[in-house]
Chains A and B, each alone.
Chain A
């Protein structure tokens, strides 16, 4: 048995030579990858202007009401920008799994958040709208089912169900804010990591809002909900403009109350990232590619291979970039299929269009979006004044047989 000896190579400064200047190599605009690159100033300016435009759209729709302008300025401006930048970003993305995620993210935002509310307007019930009214099941039943299905899905698959795949807030920060992913802009390290707890303040406000909507409308509940709306809306849009200083994910990391809710379910649910300390070479790439600044491998190492955190929104960059396949998603599917390993090759193959299953899934997704659009078109003609509602109550609940 021979003793392993470590060779010590002393690093000697090159005395007399000037230190090499840091070479600032810029990323071309048609290339994006998990490890953030530096982008040219004009790209950053374009991105920031798009953020400002989206903010102006919201301001106009909530405050200024100047509609006779040549610019398109309303609450849907943001979603249009997501679509435009999204297409650019999908084209430029080099990580196949991220590209697939962006395809779904942009598709969901364009259809579920933009096309349906814009084309098929619907009256949302006022806070404190009491139960037991004929029209209530029409909205309440699908709303309740959706609400609890989403919570169940987050419990089973993790916070990425919403944050990663169906969130306009994440979408605009991913596709418009991409030039600000680099460490030049993103605060990293211990204190920014601690600041993540700031969002629990907003979460408390959110709990208050959930309480308020269950109460009959009165001065207190309506005032509180207005306050809550401002407390969420203003930081949401102001962080757009602060992106160069707080990174593209500043809002998600520090302030988002909905992310906090899903994060809680992330913590108690079945989702985690498995980390294999035996194969991990501690290169730190997983931390560098993480937009949420999660110390992935350190957490994995200290928690016995299980990274369970409220922060992870499941972009999968750490896994798909891990050079030794030491990381893998773990969710309800691993319970059902014990041999499943959602590691780097598994995730990358999710966007391999030569595989029939991938094409089938894409067709299924398009079918679901199409059915949703068609349903919105159908019901937008059905839902009208109350005179029409009692007769159509059954149909609106999704049970045509109950119509009379």
Chain B
């Protein structure tokens, strides 16, 4: 009998579902694909998903040199770049249709997969990064579009995220179009547009090191057309170590990553990664030198966590005393953050997700965020790039910040937190409401 019922349910359910109307395909991508829709720039950031070819003019099939006849006049810059590239000067030139297609009504924006048809090993190396998890170039796009605040905030306010995070879907983040010059991508400047500023102080910390100083002094005279191989460069720069021998897999040696969570440097995985670092250092230094750097880095990290944990505990104590004002209850949560609406709670530290809670918080929380994320990260990057002096100055900054937070906490405990009149600044208002409705 139950089999008959089951069959009946299956038979009725299928046409029933079709009749009731299946949901429309989501406009965005990622976990919250339904909650946002792309703006026009998205066809640049994620062409595979969002590029819609321009139709309505210039119908026709154009092969090879025909493209150049018009584009040399309309867009002379990209043609000149292409003419200077190896694509143009190689035996059989790689012409426009190879990447963009021939049909002007169905032009495509190249993706890494397009480049991978001729450079499969580079594409495979980049894709391989996914094996190592977050953060990585290859998973950078997911990291943005899966963030609740990305889907939730007005697109105008998250437009800049994708400028860097689109590295997952664009080879021309580093090899700018249409020159696609390896020499350009080998220089540190190729990394700096994204790897700079508080969340990735790679520029400051590297340039403070001996390697970095040597590059700043002499780098303009180096021949960047040479491969990233031992003996070709007087000092290593970003790509030499992190993309050893031109390996486009940049995550294979990343141990501490963003440094916002204390990790075990002796897991099986990290043991292998450190071995790879040792091999990299051994290109120039006696083998074993890296050991000393690892010991220094481990000591630096331990010192940082010894400083950070008490401050984190202090903030949690303030939270339990209700001294973090405005409290999570008083702050307007992101509309999509259901948990934050049901159980408003100030998120402190890595495991509570403070890394994504740096807006819309109380002053002392923000101070701790900068100490824990930005200053600690800078100290670790400094030590990892062998810029000991930079690391030391960052530690002094951390101690200063910790003292300031302690003083602030003492004042809060003694005087009590003042209730604030929260005039909605950016979470409410005409502009925000309009954007949210048209998101």
Contacts and interface: CB of A to CB of B under 8 A. Distances in A.
Contact of A121 (B30, B252, B271): B271
Interface string B96-125: 000000000000000000000000010011
A216 B127 CA distance: 13
A65 B252 CA distance: 22
B269 A386 contact: no
A117 B269 CA distance: 11
A367 to B, nearest CB: 26
Contacts, number: 81
A129 to B, nearest CB: 5
A117 B272 CA distance: 12
A130 B130 contact: yes
Contacts of A219: 31, 146-147
Nearest to B136: A126
A218 B249 contact: no
Nearest to A136: B131
Given A217-B142, A218-B31, A386 B134 contact: no
Given A123-B272, A127-B133, 12 more contacts: A61-B267, A65-B264, A65-B266, A121-B268, A124-B269, A126-B131, A128-B130, A217-B142, A386-B247, A387-B247, A390-B121, A390-B124
B146 A133 contact: no
A220 interface: yes
Contact of B276 (A216, A385, A390): A385
A133 B265 contact: no
User: Size band of the A side of the interface?
Assistant: 20 to 34
Contact of A386 (B124, B133, B142): B124
B428 interface: no
Given A385-B276, A386-B128, A390-B124, A218 B142 contact: yes
B130 A218 contact: no
Contact of B124 (A61, A62, A124, A134): A134
A326 interface: no
A129 B136 CA distance: 12
10 contacts: A61-B266, A65-B302, A121-B268, A127-B133, A134-B124, A222-B134, A385-B247, A385-B249, A386-B125, A386-B249
Contacts of A65: 262-266, 302
User: Size band of the B side of the interface?
Assistant: 20 to 34
B139 interface: yes
Nearest to A66: B302
A124 B133 CA distance: 10
Give the 9 A-B residue pairs with the shortest CB-CB distance, closest first: A126-B133, A121-B268, A218-B146, A125-B131, A386-B128, A134-B124, A123-B269, A129-B131, A121-B271
Contacts of A387: 125, 245, 247
B319 to A, nearest CB: 21
B224 interface: no
A217 B139 contact: yes
Contacts of B139: 217
A122 interface: yes
Given A65-B265, A121-B271, A387-B245, A133 B128 contact: yes
Interface string A112-145: 0000010001111111111001110000000000
Given A121-B272, A123-B272, A385-B276, A218 B30 contact: yes
Contacts of A130: 127, 130
B132 interface: yes
Contacts of A248: none
Interface of B: 30-31, 121, 124-125, 127-128, 130-134, 139, 142, 146-147, 245, 247, 249, 252, 262-269, 271-273, 276, 302
Interface in A372-404: 385-387, 390
A335 to B, nearest CB: 28
A253 B139 CA distance: 41
Contacts of B133: 126-128, 217, 222
A373 B146 CA distance: 42
A217 B139 CA distance: 8
A216 B272 CA distance: 25
Interface in A126-178: 126-130, 133-135
B268 A122 contact: yes
B264 A61 contact: yes
A74 interface: yes
A122 B273 CA distance: 10
Given A65-B264, A218-B146, A133 B247 contact: no
A195 B277 CA distance: 51
Contacts of A385: 247, 249, 252, 276
Contacts of B30: 218
Given A67-B266, A385-B249, A217 B134 contact: yes
A135 B131 contact: yes
Nearest to A122: B268
B130 A121 contact: no
A67 B299 CA distance: 12
Nearest to B266: A67
Nearest to B253: A385
Most A Cβ at <10 Å: residue of B130, B131, B134, B249: B131
Nearest to A139: B131
A126 B130 CA distance: 7
Interface in A48-66: 61-62, 65
Interface string A183-206: 000000000000000000000000
A134 B128 contact: yes
A123 B128 contact: no
A23 to B, nearest CB: 51
A125 B252 CA distance: 11
Nearest to A67: B266
Contacts of B252: 385-386
A150 to B, nearest CB: 22
A112 to B, nearest CB: 15
A324 B227 CA distance: 79
Contact of A133 (B131, B142, B262, B271): B131
A122 B267 CA distance: 10
Contacts of A127: 133
Contacts of A125: 131
B130 A217 contact: yes
Given A65-B262, A65-B264, A387-B245, A129 B125 contact: no
Contact of A216 (B125, B142, B263): B142
A17 B121 CA distance: 91
A220 B31 contact: yes
A162 to B, nearest CB: 22
Contacts of B245: 387
A123 B272 CA distance: 8
A121 B31 CA distance: 34
A102 to B, nearest CB: 27
A127 B142 CA distance: 14
Nearest to A130: B130
Contacts of B249: 385-386
A128 B31 CA distance: 14
A297 B258 CA distance: 59
A126 B121 contact: no
Nearest to B252: A385
Given A218-B31, A385-B249, A133 B124 contact: yes
A216 B138 CA distance: 12
B131 A117 contact: no
B130 A129 contact: yes
B130 to A, nearest CB: 5
Contacts of B268: 117, 121-124
